Chain A
Amino acid sequence: MAHAAQVGLQDATSPIMEELITFHDHALMIIFLICSLVLYALFLTLTTKLTNTNISDAQEMETVWTILPAIILVLIALPSLRILYMTDEVNDPSLTIKSIGHQWYWTYEYTDYGGLIFNSYMLPPLFLEPGDLRLLDVDNRVVLPIETPIRMMITSQDVLHSWAVPTLGLKTDAIPGRLNQTTFTATRPGVYYGQCSEICGANHSFMPIVLELIPLKIFEMGPVFTL
């Protein structure tokens, strides 16, 4: 989960998120260098002693400041497109979970090997145990195996919602009447948090998502296969 006042990305829990963080670092370094150049140019402009700064002919400079940004954009676009196509790769998921957004909770359905369906409500502050996270913990977590390709089918029963888990690099809109799909493979066990990411009413901020990722051997012993 994010720590207080965190603005950066969370640690990656899936290979796609690792790639996204790498791309983010790449883009940020380019932005930093461009900002440095612009600040230097601004400093020179503000501190010049020249009284007449009209430039009537600067063909070479205009060529450079047209070609160079185009090259920079290509340098940013190529890794971006690579990741975009990587997220659409078909990887034959082993498990399919349905996630249905409601006002203001999520319903999860594990229907591959049985009929496990449950609701996931945020824990109200009065029901929190010591150590629980306010506005993040839920009564029923989504328990999933690690190192297994998983498909999430996301929809909504009423208004727009969005199912997001930052550490996995996932955010998919839950649209009534439409089934959206996202796939992921988690690389490490743990408890990961997300929040509804599309304004959906008064309690939009109070319908979190909690994934509990566990080893496959332990997952196979759970209610998904024994119910």
Chain B
Amino acid sequence: MAAPPEPGEPEERKLLGFLDVENTPCARHSILYGSLGSVVAGFGHFLFTSRIRRSCDVGVGGFILVTLGCWFHCRYNYAKQRIQERIAREEIKKKILYEGTHLDPERKHNGSSSN
């Protein structure tokens, strides 16, 4: 996340000067879906009502709602994934440490399943 840009790489760009979409997990995904939602909502509203100004308002509202929705959904899944990764890492460490001993997680698991 905090790696400096390599000499050949383009300079990092931030949305509105502060949102680093490249390095923030889920940001790029949320903004892209938000933009798509904004275009769909705004254009769809215009097709049905032919009101330009109101369609722009719907577009902006759609952008905010879709971005927020995608953001929370993605971050929730990201947090779940991180927890699973941490559990897997700790289980692998335990397996390596206790393999062959009475504390071996696999032995406990096989013992309980055979019972």
Contacts and interface: CB of A to CB of B under 8 A. Distances in A.
A167 B91 CA distance: 26
Chain A interface size range: 20 to 34
Contacts, number: 53
Given A26-B75, A28-B24, A40-B60, A33 B67 contact: yes
B16 A37 contact: no
B1 A9 contact: yes
Interface string A8-33: 11110000000001100110110111
A36 interface: yes
B19 interface: yes
Q: How large is the interface on B (under 10, 10 to 19, 20 to 34, 35 or more residues)?
A: 20 to 34
A94 B64 CA distance: 47
The prevalent SS among residues of A at the interface is helix
A4 interface: yes
Nearest to A11: B2
A40 B42 CA distance: 14
Q: Lowest 6 A-B CB distances belong to which pairs?
A: A3-B4, A32-B19, A10-B2, A11-B2, A40-B60, A25-B24
Interface of B: 1-4, 15-16, 18-20, 23-27, 30, 60, 63-64, 67-68, 71, 75, 79
17 contacts: A3-B2, A3-B4, A6-B2, A6-B4, A8-B1, A8-B23, A22-B75, A25-B26, A25-B27, A29-B30, A32-B16, A32-B19, A33-B64, A33-B67, A35-B16, A37-B64, A39-B16
